[in-house]
Structure 1
């Protein structure tokens, strides 16, 4: 056993206990209180990690309940590790196998909301810093673990950090999966409207970031038909079964007269890439554009359709809007923007990518080819950041799910990977 692994082994029990205690804090964002902008639970989690860092021999910084950070090393250049301590709600807690804020261990897994997203990984990063400190590895750069507090909602925490603090030159977030994600598609969510009602109603879909699994059509006589599909995240809409498009196909076959229905059938179809409009919108770094018909509300007053587009890193939203608007003109459809996010891309030859690839390959023996995603990770917060772990290839991803957990072995493996990354990045 090498020296680093001996040190990590010695930290194991304390790491596990600290992770359990952090999970036991219900840090779902809540109504703001005095000096607690995201509620008492989030503030308690932030203070817990800073107190733990100080107990491990680091200096922790707490900033007005918005964020905190822990730093080690010397030098002018700053390397960032960005994690978050807020969690999504634990819906239907009575249906969880183990209490969502219990931090219980069963079958070598620590269960609870935030175990894998992102409390377990944050603790892995903190104890990786401790391992490097105990090893005595000289660092010629400063390593800063930045603690966000409302990543799951509006990112006010990290926006405040960027206004007030030094920005890292590069870094990673332990908030996705390995080997690493260096390309994230752009996001464009749009509303398509016709200011004219219909003789029927069609309702389906809830969230714009999900493929709708239910849609109901009520014809002019009042007769109703239900359509069911399979819900998946919009970023992977090609893996789902869109209930709205099922309904639209049936309606078109039955010759229902409606501009939005005609548009969907003639211009969009059941193609998740909408090649008719966006032919060639694809690149090696991030794959094809995806197009999800997410929500519909057609009634006697208006025809509204909501779509979610994830576009390749080599494209921009202006290109998307131009082509889509042109396709809508013959149908008198108005296009308005609901939300958008720019793309993220860090070149495969960048120091951060090459270094983290090398560390991952040496620590796991697995292929380290970078990944791309249609989702949005915390890496978008800073320039030259990538997502790095905590989930290994082939492992089940339980983030945001009932009975979320992190395996104890994965918690420790992350400490080893992050410690080696800190050593290499801090040289």
Structure 2
């Protein structure tokens, strides 16, 4: 094949940006509270799926909509099915944006919006790779099914339903991570820690509520505590000093007899908690130095003592390292406490080979035996690895090297992509390894240059894998 993939990809820049903008304008975060008969995951995920399929219909592809939770775009023919697995849902926008997260802004060669890098930007790159092949009349000897889900950030309802009723690809890539390749993904599990009732006297201050976190797969960016009782005279000064020392932002306000503390850290993807600044554990660490009521003090003290700045789970006694897959990571992600009600923490763990969701739960339960009950929240995903000598991995690394001039190598991540849903599935791009990863963060963006390069890389990869 003598086609210059980069030159061909460049022809689509303006149209690609217009289509990407139309997708980014849709707030497609899961919203089951507003689900409808034709929108089981909420109007946003449905609308983004319909828009993506409409783009493909406009360009003459054969498409299929699976119950408004997943869809397919088809190209090629043959006995084997090569899958491309993307998603149109996004995590909630959260706070801290400098622009409207659903009004895309192009600045300094970047497009800013929620979903720009996870996963609407990479998915549109893979789509335009297919369009490039179709427009050039290139014959593919395998079927290509571009499968689009709408619940990747939560429970995978869309992709799981698709695989129940539609043909499963024989092998696949997911454009939902980094180049050069992700051929290993750690196991993923969340644990709900429900604190046990405690007896004791009131302190100088009573913790009325403590709230933080949006999703299990996000480091919480903001945290709020409400207190009553007599504040120490130096409370504000100590708070200001803590905020300054740790480069945070925060305020203390009053409402009647309540003191309200808001703290802002830095949100990030839970796969690497050290990439963020956990507002909740910082706020707990600050409050732990003061005399709180027994229930509130037990909750706050446990968070400060066992969960603050310990991304590898050493304090919780669940740390583990595998030579290939690396460290277990632990991210305290969602906090919910009320004085007369619940006291919970949702801990998100990414675990390598050598431990299981159950063995890690048992370790947590042992550490917290006097403090909290520990249960697995939802469904655990097992570690996934495709060997480097698999032809899928070898071909993709060869394409990457030829298109970029860089040396390819295997990678394992703590994130979870649709690549793990197939035995021969990997994540492939679209974020260059050297770029900052701003997925799940405020002011998420993607370099337009990277989207254009990804179109060429994907087109070459699809061509070689379907010859």
TM-score, with structure 2 as normaliser: 0.76
| Equivalent residue for 2:74, pick from 64, 71, 74 | 71
Residue 218 of structure 1, CA deviation: 6.3
- The answer to whether the 8 Å contact 1:348/1:354 transfers is no
| Equivalent residue for 1:281, pick from 307, 311, 320 | 320
Q: CA RMSD in A?
A: 3.8
- The answer to whether the 8 Å contact 1:215/1:243 transfers is no
The residue correspondences of 1:6-405 to structure 2 (distance < 5 A) are: 6-29=7-30, 31-90=34-93, 96-97=98-99, 100-103=101-104, 105-185=106-186, 186-199=188-201, 200=203, 201=206, 204=210, 206-207=212-213, 208=216, 209-210=218-219, 214=223, 222-223=230-231, 230-233=265-268, 234-238=270-274, 240=277, 242-243=281-282, 246-247=285-286, 250=289, 271-275=310-314, 278=317, 281-294=320-333, 295=335, 297=337, 304-329=344-369, 331=370, 333-349=372-388, 350-405=390-445
Query: Structure 1 residues 110 and 270, CA, compared in 2 at 3 Å: closer, same or farther?
Result: closer
Query: 2: CA distance between counterparts of 1:212 and 1:25?
Result: 23
Residue 422 of structure 1, CA deviation: 0.4
Residue 59 of structure 1, CA deviation: 1.2
Residue 426 of structure 1, CA deviation: 1.3
| Equivalent residue for 2:455, pick from 409, 412, 415 | 415
Query: Structure 1 residues 24 and 297, CA, compared in 2 at 3 Å: closer, same or farther?
Result: closer
- The answer to whether the 8 Å contact 1:82/1:174 transfers is yes
The more displaced of 17-26 and 61-70 is 17-26
Residue 413 of structure 1, CA deviation: 0.5
| SS of match in other structure, 1:16 | helix
- The answer to whether the 8 Å contact 1:213/1:243 transfers is no
- The answer to whether the 8 Å contact 2:111/2:445 transfers is yes
The C-alpha deviation readout for 1:205-232, integer Å capped at 9, x for no partner, is: 522542576575969x754666766445
Residue 316 of structure 1, CA deviation: 0.5
Query: 2: CA distance between counterparts of 1:66 and 1:337?
Result: 26
| SS of match in other structure, 2:353 | coil
Aligned length in residues: 421
Query: Structure 1 residues 314 and 400, CA, compared in 2 at 3 Å: closer, same or farther?
Result: same
Query: Structure 1 residues 34 and 367, CA, compared in 2 at 3 Å: closer, same or farther?
Result: same
TM-score, with structure 1 as normaliser: 0.82
Structure 1 residue runs of 5 or longer lacking an equivalent are: none
Query: Structure 1 residues 412 and 265, CA, compared in 2 at 3 Å: closer, same or farther?
Result: closer
Residue 333 of structure 1, CA deviation: 4.2
Query: 1: CA distance between counterparts of 2:144 and 2:132?
Result: 13
Query: 1: CA distance between counterparts of 2:410 and 2:210?
Result: 36
Residue 348 of structure 1, CA deviation: 3.0
- The answer to whether the 8 Å contact 1:86/1:152 transfers is yes
Query: 2: CA distance between counterparts of 1:262 and 1:14?
Result: 54
- The answer to whether the 8 Å contact 1:181/1:373 transfers is yes
Query: Structure 1 residues 244 and 381, CA, compared in 2 at 3 Å: closer, same or farther?
Result: farther
- The answer to whether the 8 Å contact 2:26/2:44 transfers is yes
The more displaced of 336-345 and 293-302 is 293-302
Query: 1: CA distance between counterparts of 2:73 and 2:15?
Result: 18
- The answer to whether the 8 Å contact 2:45/2:69 transfers is no
The more displaced of 136-145 and 36-45 is 36-45
Query: 2: CA distance between counterparts of 1:50 and 1:69?
Result: 8
- The answer to whether the 8 Å contact 2:312/2:319 transfers is no
The more displaced of 124-133 and 225-234 is 225-234
Structure 2 residue runs of 5 or longer lacking an equivalent are: 247-264
Query: Structure 1 residues 104 and 355, CA, compared in 2 at 3 Å: closer, same or farther?
Result: same
Query: 1: CA distance between counterparts of 2:230 and 2:447?
Result: 53
Query: Structure 1 residues 247 and 385, CA, compared in 2 at 3 Å: closer, same or farther?
Result: same
